[in-house]
Amino acid sequence: MVECRKLAKGEKAVKRLFLLSVFAVAGFCAAAAPAGAQTFVDVGDSHRAKMEINYLATGQIVNGSLDGHFYPDKQVTRAEAAAMIGRTLQFNGKQVSTDFSDVGIQNFASGYIQEAARHSIITGYKDGSFKPDQPVARGEMAIMISRAFGYGASTINSAAKALMDKGIAQGVADGTFGTTNSIKRSDFSVFLARSINSELRLNGSMPEFTQTDTVNADSLNMRSGPSTLYDVKSAIPFKGEVKIGYKVGKWAFIQYDGKTGFVHTDFLASSVGGSSSQIAGKTIVIDPGHGGTDPGASGYGLLEKTVTQDTALRVQNYFKQTPFNILLTQEKDPVGYKTELSDRVAFARNHNADIFVSIHCNSFNGTADGTETYYYAAYQNPHVDESKALATYVQKRMLDALDLKDRGIDNGDFHVIRENTMPAILTELAFIDNKSDNAKLASSYWRQEAAKAIYLGILDYYYNYKKIDDVLPLYNLLQAQPSTKWY
């Protein structure tokens, strides 16, 4: 099988590795149980969650202790939930430094926490903390799963309703969802397993298989779960036509020849929202202002280049999950030199960019504050109306996200927008030398909010101004809706 031939190395490597336990509890082993281990001494045949726990264990989404216990009645913490969801979506779980003051690199879930936060599945608090050991409530679980699987819910109540409507969850004894009740590991496992595999859901609830795709491998294995650790259910021949219900990371839950299962999307002719999309061929260039030997403005020990580079990477991360081609004029802060303004313009032109967004921080002797966005209305750039529309939508989203003074949109004589030949804007997030504005620029929480605003502002531009409906599903990444038609 082509899938087996192409994935054999990875599959063998996964089986050789020992993974950190998803659950950091006393008595749990530092390494996971061997691949394929599906039974636990405290999850007997009569346990109500046995099927779902063993399903997750097969894919090494959850693991037990060295002595074979699962501890199904222990409460789930925020760190554990991030790890479970991260493994489900195939995030990189390598331990890393994070944006959160209370999650160090030594935390077993640090990599998953960082990735889950970047994907807006689980967020930190305004004080910069994450509270990794805080128990998860059922309502919080509902929001996490809704965000992870793109159910589009923006509130706890709507997330709870989505899980019940899909046959993933039920209410509690008092007839409510029990949003403030803590959740056990066994229950979290049930809800997560049902979210992954609709065959496990209540009342036989199945998705609508609305998208058609074709296999581009000689033969493609359809598996019982989103990993090569799961059993093969059948093989689909070259150019076999499959219907897609939903995606779990890089795997798709599909229907073929009357059967359902998971296939890896790398072996499909196009991913969901793929090559036929109106936006698949469009390139967005994000320009982090300054960098290298050019630090930009500064205030209270914070450099402009630090803010712009970090925010640009966050924007890029959102667009990497879409059919857009997303590029940065500088992927990291250059060492020993600076990226010239003319090089930034040339980069966008050479890559035939559809739009160009430059990110900056403002400065004015500490006496000014607020957010503003510029476009250019003359010279070489003929896209004045498009640029103004793009500036309008990004500015509106920035105001909603950062809650700063509205300095409006204006015609700005800046090289990177003046000399460009596509719709181009320059957004000033806030004033780095103003104490109140600076506090937000220095915060990873508020930089993430700014990145969300830029992402959504760009979607609003394409949806409202360019009238491209293909971007509509992309709002689900942030459980958002298109803005009012402002321009």
241 is catalytic: no
Q: Write the burial class of residue 473 (CB in 10 Å: 0-12 exposed, 13-18 middle, 19+ buried).
A: middle
Output 433-440 pairs: Cβ under 8 A, ≥24 positions apart.
433/297, 433/298, 433/299, 433/300, 433/363, 433/364, 433/365, 433/366, 434/299, 434/366, 434/367, 434/368, 434/369, 435/300, 435/366, 436/369, 437/369, 437/370, 437/404, 438/299, 438/300, 438/302, 440/402, 440/404
CA pair distance 64, 33, nearest whole angstrom: 6
Output 365-369 pairs: Cβ under 8 A, ≥24 positions apart.
365/433, 366/299, 366/431, 366/433, 366/434, 366/435, 367/434, 368/431, 368/434, 369/404, 369/405, 369/430, 369/431, 369/434, 369/436, 369/437
Q: Could you tell me the two tokens for 316?
A: 């890029």
Q: Which of 80, 115, 428, 449 is catalytic?
A: 428
Which residues have C-beta within 8 Å of that of residue 126, sequence separation ≥ 6?
A: 443, 445
Q: Could you tell me the two tokens for 15?
A: 């089986």
DSSP secondary structure string, 354-421?
Answer: SEEEEEEEE-STT----EEEEE--STT---HHHHHHHHHHHHHHHHHHH---EEEEEE---HHHHS-S
Query: How far out from the chain centre does Cα 288 lie?
Result: 20
Angle in degrees, 0-180, between the axes of helices 50-58 and 185-196, rounded to the nearest 10 = 70
Q: Write the burial class of residue 30 (CB in 10 Å: 0-12 exposed, 13-18 middle, 19+ buried).
A: exposed
Handedness of CA 159, 161, 166, 171 (dihedral sign): positive
Output 463-467 pairs: Cβ under 8 A, ≥24 positions apart.
464/393, 465/386, 465/389, 465/390, 465/393
CA pair distance 64, 66, nearest whole angstrom: 7
Kindly list the catalytic residues.
428
